[in-house]
Structure 1
Amino acid sequence: MLIRKTHQLIWCTPNWCVALVLTIAPCISPAHTGVVEIEVVGNYDNSVGSSDSASQGVINSQIIENRPLLRPGEMLEYVPGMVVTQHSGDGKANQYFLRGFNLDHGSDFATSINGMPINMPTNAHGQGYSDLNFLIPELVQRIDYRKGPYYAQDGDFSSAGSADFHYKTKLDKDFTQFTLGQRGYQRFVGAASHELSNGMNYVVGLERMNNNGPWSTPEGLRRTNGIFMLSDGSKANGWTASLMSYQARWTSTDQVPQSLINSGLNNGQPFGRFDSLDSSDGGKTDRSSLSLDWRQSHGKVSDKVMVYAINYDLTLFSNFTYFTNDPVNGDQFMQKEHRNVYGVKSSRQWVIDGDVEWINTLGLQSRSDLINVDLANTQSRSVSSWIRQDKVRQNLTGIFSDAQANWTPWLRTNFGLRYDQYSTHVKSVLQNQNSGAATAGLWSPKFSMVLGPWQKTEYFFNAGKGFHSNDARGTTAKVDPIDSTKTVASVPGLVASKGYEVGIKTEAIQGLQSSLSLWRLDFDAELVYVGDAGGTESGRSSRRTGVEWNNRWMPSSKLVIDADLAWTKSRYNTEDGSGVFVPNAVEKVALLAATVKDVGKWNLTGQLRYIGPAALVEDNSVRSNSSSIINFKARRNSENNQAIYFDVLNVFDRKFNDISYYAPDPLRTVRNGTLISDNALVHPGEPRSVRLTYAIKY
């Protein structure tokens, strides 16, 4: 039996021209002309004149420092309208929700750090798997975000939007932080930055975190994270090399039947909100990467080249149906993968002056994934039988062009065009019928028009086509991996999306940055690769429409108020008898925050996050509950560059669910002759957590 999860299917790429770039880039150093380039940034860079749409912007480090965070992945909640939860252990990728999408672990939202992609196509657990747990929030300089398929530089996984995390290449001061919290929470993070004798600068950072969480079976999360960056030059002329390493181990408490929580009993024994039905669930992951980012400007021409390599491992043990399929041994399964990723990104931008100023960009992006991916039935993390084993070689190459025309002081347009070529080769070890190769190509035109500013107000119109790639195993599938007597239909490599948006951005009121956008996004197919079963479910075409209203108000230098509100309607375009609601599509989202700065030695932030209800089945007969939680953070600066941070997460200890699922057939959990039947599964949100941090700069 399968639990209904909603994913949208997603991506891949190759690496020709990598050798050329690897040969040239390290040999070029920035020209030292004696001119000092100064970059000035504030809390936000979402002002009038800074973007091509009302739903594009930048979040800078000052905001990140003041917001409370339960998990690293919640940094994406700085993107207006995005909410982040978890349905399993904290070593696993988060659940993301934006613009009526249950993005699951990352599908249809592209993320990168220092230019390297985070999303994993043809992942063992889910297409586009985006694990942000290796982020170190204290080192993030800024987050660039864009929503909608309107930007030529954004390819796969970006129909709903994208976010690029950029680490600091220089620190004002070295620092060390120690954090202690309830339920075994311990965290150390330290970083140092210095200039070398030849003018280059390095940043080194280290993080270690332990956590048991509120779960009856302790999570035992052990996370180790390190980064080393070497850079020279400036943002326009220079280069940055990054070396990162991350590993995590954990035990997870997955979602459980709501009926057990309501009754408080399981086979006559007490059962609480944070209890588990399989204490051997959990996983481990390792990620290491090396990248080189080179930039050079000469006259009105700017060149950028980036190359990267990623080594990645993931092993997950999950049991979402407990004893439904196997009443004796249980339904636990293992998803495992090992991959190497190689990629290149390059672009040239040049300006043509005249009666109309043209800013032109031409770029190439190419990525190759070499993957071994397995699925097996297990009991207490020991393999009992294999379901499928595959060796996958997957490539995605995109070329794009963008032409911005400044027609008048109050009118500018962007014309973009992108072509992506997908190719994959799958060798199915256990079901040779599922071996094969597949290719696909797709053109994606883009257009933006910006009017203004008039009275510090701009007006936007955006339109564009995007896409997501599908899991490579689905593109060559011919038989069901569980029952080889059943035939299945293969799916296309690329699936198109189409979006439109009108918006307004204004600073007409002193101290207030406000934006309003009305948008629509259509998908050709809601195809779902079910990593839990190793197969692909076909879906219908869909349409999502919504309104977003985002506000940043600074009534004084000591007070910042944020209010981000989003409303979304998500529907299938055709009726098949089951209904037209898209399951798990959150309809309303709100984030309200207030920060009081520099009141004596104190900074204080309070934040309210609201996640509205969602249909869990197509006919809307079963719905999830809404949730509202308040988080609080206080920082007291002391003498000698020391500070104390006090975080209270879920201040009022609200009982809520991080996520809810609906099982099409009741779970049948049989133990000692006891039958438990339930369609509803939930993963409880964490109770109130208090954390205390000591930080020192030197």
Structure 2
Amino acid sequence: MRQIIIFLLVNLNLLKLYAAEPQFDDSLSATSTGKVSTVIGGVESASEGVISSTQIESQGQVRPADVLEFIPGVVVTQHSGDGKANQYFLRGFNLDHGTDFLTRIEGMPVNLPSNAHGQGYMDLNFLIPEVIGQIDYRKGPYYSDTGDFSSAGSSNIFYKNKLDTNFGLATVGSNNYKRLLSAGSMVVNETGNLMGALEVLRNDGPWENPEGVKKLNGLLKYSDHIGGDKISLLAMGYRNSWNSTDQVPLGAISSGIVNRHGAIDPSDGGTTSRYSLSGLWRRDLDDGYAEVSLYYLRYQLQLFSNFTYYLNDPINGDQFSQTDNRNTYGGQAQRVWLGNLAGLAMSNTLGYQLRQDRIQVGLNNTKQQQVLSNVREDSVVQTSNSLFAENDIEWQPWFHSKIGGRYDQYAFNVGSNISQNSGTSNSGIFSPKATLTLGPFYKTNFYLNYGQGFHSNDARGTVIKVDPSNTVVPLNPVPGLVKTTGYEFGIRSLAIKNLETSLALWQLNIGSELVFAGDAGITEPNRPSQRKGIEWSNHYTPLSWFALDGNFTYTKARYIDGDPLGYFVPGSVGLTGSIMADFRKGPWSGGVQWRYIGPSPLIENGSVYSSSASVFNGRVKYEVTPKVYLTLDVFNLFNQQANDISYYYQSRAAPKLPASSDIAIHPAESRSYRATLTYNF
């Protein structure tokens, strides 16, 4: 390790890699939280930062969740229809639909525990990128105010309080893509701002079975600043329906049963809706501040999927439906004290978080979306109480420490139509955290981070006694909470003119990989693992009108229990990379993005790997008049036959074919175009 650190310091001038972080001055005093102290409350690691609205505007997005790809190392894909939560990759995790990566909207969590389809389900299709103000991101379990699902990382997305100008836009594109968006803001009562946006979208995609996406989406945000009080209220509403083209076996493609963009079961699809109300109040005090946030979420999902086709039922097929109907309530209160200890600058934070999900969740066997039989129906009440605290001291102008921790208590209550699978359970866990910051030295800071965290299991898995598909088969319940432990050494520097650079060496240990088998309605206990890696990131602005961003990560993920099945973690991507170039000169602006995701093992013994994927996207924007803009986006610029995701499992592609194990792929979308006319008013 010492040799690696010396090598990096000596060769600092060669670091041309970027972490998308906020601008910070020569003393590295800027923060992602907006606090004014040069050290207290500042950036706490080399792997955290802020994505600005300007960055988001420079690149087009195939799907709304693609805004997370501005976070170094994050890859966003899809293995189904565009109303379903995306597939996410970060730090050697196939995060499924959000497990181990927490996303919040102005403090309101998006991840859904005990979801019908997957634990921590994180559907971001309701995002409206054009009105996002900034995205704060962090990686690793080093932060006291984030708990469940945040071991790999977290993001907090903020919408703008007001817009520079009101606007409307219309987009048309390949594959019957149509989108209308109108957004505007106004001053209310001299000090307040009211901002709103409304979106309508239709899209068929490149699929042989048209997606038929029908999305209606809107938000309304009120913010005000009265004396020492700041308040904001955010109301959001979203509904969507779609047809799905799920992953298909490579053997079925090569034999002509289905083409790359075809579907074996064209009746897959779904509907979803999400309505929420959240609010934030903050009061600045002489010795710090107090803050309270509250939220309410009404959510529904009905999803029809068929991943094994005719494996289990050669007559009717293996389609199943998953339903999720929930109300979620929660909030957070925290108090921050700023002061001194024996002449040393110090801050103390004490906070409390509460969340309750009241869920009706079901699983049925279906054929062409018609119910054939019920597998399980459950009423779930899941409640979490969390207390966190931290102390931050500036010992010297070049050295400060942050020590903290959190305690989480979970209560699971499950009422099942299978009486043996009803019950209650409780789990608690304490997670210590620590950060040391050294610097600045020659415009360079050094960070040491340590933290324990956790992820929760599906509530149904904590009380399960029998297999819902065969009640004579006994099953053992799984722990409600599983511990994770992370370490990181990092460097952030402005030593080179016009270059913001960061590097992180990290490791994360997990007590048990989380596997929820949504098609079977069970949580499978899995093996302990370790991930370690390196992230190099850079933002370079050689000219006032041109910027270049580059991110490269390498991760090694292994099971560590010595099981003879093998030590490779399926879906753990080893290498990722991205380069973004954007420009603004005269009436022209735009950018080019390259994204690479390397191969990953698909089974434990490492004998089967996915293929790598390399995709280019481009955007050009022209200002016709100060009020009229034309934008052209081209996705998958070189029409690469890349795959969004790959799996390896047993299936039967047609009723009379034998069952076989094969790689199943969902292709990336082929080259497509979108043209947008924007009018400011």
TM-score interval (norm. to shorter): over 0.9
**TM (normalized to structure 2)?**
0.93
1:77-88 residue pairs with structure 2 within 5 A? 77-88=69-80
Residue 351 of structure 1 deviates from its aligned partner by 0.7
Structure 1 residue 548 corresponds to structure 2 residue 532: no
Once the two structures are TM-superposed, the CA of residue 192 in structure 1 deviates from its matched residue by: 1.1
Equivalent residue for 2:12? none
Any idea what the Cα deviations from partners look like across 1:293-345, whole Å, max 9, x if unmatched?
10110212211101110000001000001111111111000000100000011
Alignment correspondent of 1:597: 584
2:614 matches 1:628: yes
SS at match of 2:420: helix
Residues 1:392 and 1:643: Cα distance change in structure 2 (over 3 Å): same
The alignment partner of 1:173 has SS state of coil
1:638 alignment partner, SS class: strand
User: CA deviation digits over 1:440-472, x for unaligned, max 9?
Assistant: 110000000000001100000000100011100
1:261-660 alignment, distance < 5 Å: 261-263=253-255, 265-266=256-257, 271-353=258-340, 354-429=342-417, 431-598=418-585, 600-660=586-646
Q: Are residue 691 (structure 1) and residue 674 (structure 2) matched?
A: yes
Contact 2:104 2:155 in 1 (8 A): yes
Deviation at 1:546, TM superposition (A): 0.3
Equivalent residue letter for 1:174: N
CA contact (8 A) 1:46 1:56 kept: no
Q: Secondary structure at the match of 1:166?
A: strand
Q: CA deviation at 1:197?
A: 3.2
Across the aligned residues of Structure 1 and Structure 2, the Cα RMSD in angstroms comes to 1.2
Q: Which runs of 5+ in 2 are unaligned?
A: 1-19, 32-42
Q: How far did residue 675 of structure 1 move?
A: 4.3
Q: Secondary structure at the match of 1:68?
A: coil
**What is the match of residue 45 of structure 1?**
22
Query: How far apart are the structure 2 equivalents of 1:553 and 1:182?
Result: 34
Q: State the one-letter code of the partner of 2:411.
A: S
| Residue correspondence of structure 1 range 173-212 to structure 2 within 5 A | 173-197=165-189, 199-212=191-204
Judging changes above 3 Å, is the alpha-carbon distance between structure 1 residues 610 and 275 closer, same or farther for their aligned structure 2 residues? same
- Structure 1 residue aligned with 2:16: none
Q: Distance in 2 between matches of 1:420 and 1:236?
A: 32
1:121 to 101, 110, 113: 113
Shift of residue 237, structure 1, vs aligned partner: 3.1
Give 1:662's aligned residue: 648
How far 1:359 sits from its partner (Å)?
Answer: 1.0
The change in CA–CA distance for 1:496 and 1:338 in structure 2 (over 3 A counts) is same
Amino acid at match of 1:480: D
**Deviation digits for residues 560-595 of structure 1 (CA, Å, limit 9, x no counterpart):** 000000000000001221100000000000010111
Report the residue type matching 1:369 in the other structure. Answer: D
Shift in Å at residue 604 of structure 1?
2.7
Counterpart AA for 2:232: T
Q: Contact 2:644/2:665 (CA < 8 Å) preserved in 1?
A: yes
2:94 and 2:572 in contact (8 A); partners too:
yes
- Aligned-pair CA distance for 1:234: 7.4
- Alignment partners' CA distance in 1, 2:646 and 2:344: 53
Q: Find the residue that maps to 1:377 and give its secondary structure.
A: strand
Q: Corresponding residue for 2:81?
A: 89
User: Which residue identity does 1:292 align to in structure 2?
Assistant: G
2-side partners of 1:626 and 1:446: how far apart? 36
Give the 3-state SS of the residue equivalent to 1:485 in structure 2.
strand
Residue of structure 1 in register with 2:17 after alignment = none
CA contact (8 A) 1:327 1:669 kept: no
2:160 and 2:464 mapped to 1: Cα distance?
Answer: 44
Q: Which runs of 5+ in 1 are unaligned?
A: 1-42
Q: CA deviation at 1:99?
A: 0.4
Q: Which SS does the other structure have where 1:138 is aligned? A: helix
Instruction: Give the whole-Å Cα distance in 2 for the aligned partners of 1:79 and 1:198.
Output: 36
3-state SS of paired residue (1:526): coil
> Is the Cα contact below 8 Å between 2:384 and 2:410 reproduced in 1?
yes
Cα distance change, pair 235–171 in 1 and its aligned pair in 2 (3 A): farther
Q: C-alpha separation between the residues in 2 aligned to 1:484 and 1:368? A: 30
3-state SS in 2 of match to 1:261: helix
Secondary structure of the corresponding residue to residue 122 of structure 2: coil
1:221 Cα offset (Å) = 0.3
State the alpha-carbon separation in 2 of the partners of residues 502 and 44 from structure 1: 17
Question: Residue 461 and residue 259 in structure 1: after superposition, are their counterparts in 2 closer, same or farther (change >3 A)?
Answer: same
Measure the CA separation in 2 of the matches of 1:640 and 1:142: 24
Deviation at 1:231, TM superposition (A): 1.4
**Which residue of structure 2 lines up, in the alignment, with residue 255 of structure 1?**
247
How far is the alpha carbon of 1:198 from its aligned partner? 5.1
Equivalent residue letter for 1:363:
G
**Residues 44-66 of structure 1: CA distance to partner in whole angstroms, max 9, x if unpaired?**
51533331000011111010000
1:17 aligns with none
Taking the aligned partners of 1:234 and 1:461, their CA distance within structure 2 comes to 39
Q: Which amino acid aligns with 1:476?
A: V
User: How many Å separate the matches in 1 of 2:480 and 2:549?
Assistant: 40
In structure 2, the partner of 1:230 is: 222
Contact 2:457 2:523 in 1 (8 A): no
Counterpart of 1:601, as a letter, is: P
CA contact (8 A) 1:388 1:481 kept: yes
Whole-angstrom CA distance in 2 between matches of 1:451 and 1:114 = 30
- Counterpart amino acid of 2:652? R
Query: Cα deviation per residue 1:472-496 (whole Å; 9 max; x = unaligned)?
Result: 0000001111111111110111110
Give the match's secondary structure for 2:653. Answer: strand
Asked if the contact 1:259–1:678 (Cα under 8 Å) also holds between the matched residues in 2, the reply is: no
Deviations 1:70-115 (A, max 9, x none): 1001111111100000000010000000001110000000001121
Q: Is the 8 A contact 1:240 1:294 kept in 2?
A: yes
State the identity as a percent.
46
- 1:258/1:678 contact within 8 Å kept: no
SS of residue in 1 equivalent to 2:377:
strand
Pairwise CA distance, 1:669 = 3.2
TM-score by length of 1: 0.91
C-alpha displacement of 1:674: 4.4
Indicate how the Cα distance of structure 1 residues 89 and 236 shifts in structure 2: closer, same or farther if over 3 A, else same.
Answer: farther
Question: More deviation in 57-66 or 235-244?
Answer: 235-244
Deviation of 1:291 after TM superposition, in Å, equals 1.0
Q: CA contact under 8 A between 2:138 and 2:153: conserved in structure 1?
A: yes
Structure 1 residue 684: deviation in Å?
0.8
Whether the 8 Å CA contact 2:311–2:659 is kept in 1: the answer is no
1:146 is matched with: 138
Residue 4 of structure 1 is matched in structure 2 by none
Deviation at 1:67, TM superposition (A): 1.2
